[in-house]
Amino acid sequence: MRPAPNQTRAPRPDRDLSRPLPSALSWTVLVVFAAALAVAVVAVGLPWWVPAWYGAVSLVAFVAYGLDKRAAKRCAPRTSESALLTMGFVGGWPGALVAQQFFRHKTRKRSFRRAFWLSVVVNVLVLAAFIALLKAGLGLFDYSGMLQ
C-alpha cells in the first residue's frame, strides 16, 4: 500500500541510495557522444550500421527502463539489473540514459549507477578502438559488401 501523498516512506537501511547525478551531466554526455558519432561517420567512414545499432538498441533499452519503472510502481515482476546493464553495454546506454532522466528510474542506487557508468565507459572505449582501427586502415574489417 502506498503512503498518502503528504506522508513519506521510512528509509530502508538496506538500500544503497544516494543523490542522483545532475541531469545536465547525462545530457552533456549524450550530446558529446552523438556529435562524436556523427563526426566518425562523416570523417572516418564509420559504417552506417553502427549509429543505426546504437539507435535500435537504445530504443529497446528506453522501453525496458519504462516497463521496469511501471513494474516497480505496481509491485510487479521487474527486469533484472543485469539485463538493463547488458542492454546498455551492447550499445543501448544512450537510450538508457534518456530513460533514466525521463522516468526518474535507476538514478539513485549507487551500485547500479557505478555499474552503468562503467558499462558506458567500456562501450565507448570499444567503439573508439573500432574507429581507430578503421582510421588506421587496418584490413581487419571488410565492409565492401554492405550498403553504404
The answer to whether 44 touches 138, Cβ cutoff 8 Å, is no
HSE-CB at 5 with a 13 A cutoff on CA atoms is 0
Q: Which stretches within 1-148 are classed as H helix?
A: 23-39, 49-74, 81-87, 93-103, 110-136
The predicted-structure confidence for 39-81, as pLDDT tens digits, reads as follows: 999 988 899 999 999 999 999 999 999 999 999 999 999 999 9
Q: Give the pLDDT confidence score for residue 12 in this predicted structure.
A: 58
Considering just the CA atoms, what is the radius of gyration of the chain in Å?
18
Q: Give the pLDDT confidence score for residue 76 in this predicted structure.
A: 94
Mean pLDDT of 112-130: 93
Q: Does pLDDT of 143 surpass 90? A: no
Q: Give the pLDDT confidence score for residue 3 in this predicted structure.
A: 52
Q: Give the pLDDT confidence score for residue 2 in this predicted structure.
A: 53
The predicted-structure confidence for 2-47, as pLDDT tens digits, reads as follows: 555 554 555 555 666 677 667 778 889 999 999 999 999 998 889 9
Q: Give the pLDDT confidence score for residue 26 in this predicted structure.
A: 85
Which of 54, 3, 60 minimizes the C-alpha distance to 68? Answer: 60
The predicted-structure confidence for 90-101, as pLDDT tens digits, reads as follows: 999 999 999 999
Q: Give the pLDDT confidence score for residue 129 in this predicted structure.
A: 93
